Structure 1
Amino acid sequence: MTWGRPGVPGDLPAPEVLWARWALVAVVEATTEAEESARYRTGTWIDEEGLHLDDCGCTWWTFSRMADGRYVLFGEDESSEVKWHRPPVDMLAGAPDWLPHEELRDRLEGNELGCVYWYENGAWARAPYPGDLGDDGLDCGMSRFVVRVEALRLLDERVRRDGGTSAAALLEHAEHRRLTPELLESLVAPADGSAPDLPAMTRALHRAGLAPRTAAAG
Structure 2
Amino acid sequence: MTIRRPGLPGDLPRPETLWARWGLLAVLEATAEGEETPSVHRTGCWIDAGGLHLDDCGCTWWTLARTGEGRFVLYGEDESSDVKWHEPAIDMLAGAPDWLPHDKLRDLLEGYELGCVYWYEDGTWSRAPYPQDLDDDGLDCGMSRFVDRDDVVRAMDLGDNGGVAPTTVLDRAERYELTPQALESLVAASAYDHWDLPAMLRALHLTGLSGEGIDSDVASSSLRAT
Normalising to structure 1: TM-score of the pair? 0.90
1:1-218 to 2 correspondences below 5 Å: 1-32=1-32, 34-37=33-36, 38-39=38-39, 40-155=41-156, 157=157, 159-161=158-160, 166-188=165-187, 193-213=192-212
Give, in angstroms, the shift of residue 167 of structure 1: 1.6
Q: Contact 2:23/2:46 (CA < 8 Å) preserved in 1?
A: yes
Letter in 2 for 1:194: D
Q: What is the distance in 2 between the residues matched to 1:98 and 1:212?
A: 25
**3-state DSSP of counterpart to 1:99:** coil
Q: Contact 1:166/1:187 (CA < 8 Å) preserved in 2?
A: no
Structure 2: which 5+ residue stretches go unaligned?
Answer: 214-226
Q: Contact 2:160/2:191 (CA < 8 Å) preserved in 1?
A: no
Q: What is the distance in 1 between the residues matched to 2:200 and 2:70?
A: 25
Quote the sequence identity (%): 64
Give, in angstroms, the shift of residue 196 of structure 1: 1.6
**3-state DSSP of counterpart to 2:69:** helix
Q: Contact 2:31/2:196 (CA < 8 Å) preserved in 1?
A: yes
Query: What CA deviation, in whole Å up to 9, does each residue of 1:134-190 have, x standing for no partner?
Result: 0000000001111111111111x2x1346x95321111010111112222233248x
**3-state DSSP of counterpart to 2:34:** helix
Q: Contact 1:52/1:62 (CA < 8 Å) preserved in 2?
A: yes
Letter in 2 for 1:203: R
How many residues get paired? 210
Letter in 2 for 1:183: A
**3-state DSSP of counterpart to 1:153:** helix
Equivalent residue number for residue 224 of structure 2: none
Normalising to structure 2: TM-score of the pair? 0.87
Q: CA RMSD in A?
A: 2.0
Deviates more, 1:90-99 or 1:165-174: 165-174
Q: Contact 2:159/2:192 (CA < 8 Å) preserved in 1?
A: no
Q: What is the distance in 1 between the residues matched to 2:170 and 2:187?
A: 12
Q: Contact 1:82/1:136 (CA < 8 Å) preserved in 2?
A: yes
Give, in angstroms, the shift of residue 195 of structure 1: 4.5
Q: Contact 2:77/2:114 (CA < 8 Å) preserved in 1?
A: yes
Q: What is the distance in 2 between the residues matched to 1:139 and 1:81?
A: 13
Q: Contact 1:160/1:188 (CA < 8 Å) preserved in 2?
A: no
Letter in 1 for 2:5: R
Q: What is the distance in 2 between the residues matched to 1:105 and 1:127?
A: 14
Query: What CA deviation, in whole Å up to 9, does each residue of 1:56-81 have, x standing for no partner?
Result: 00000000001121000000011111
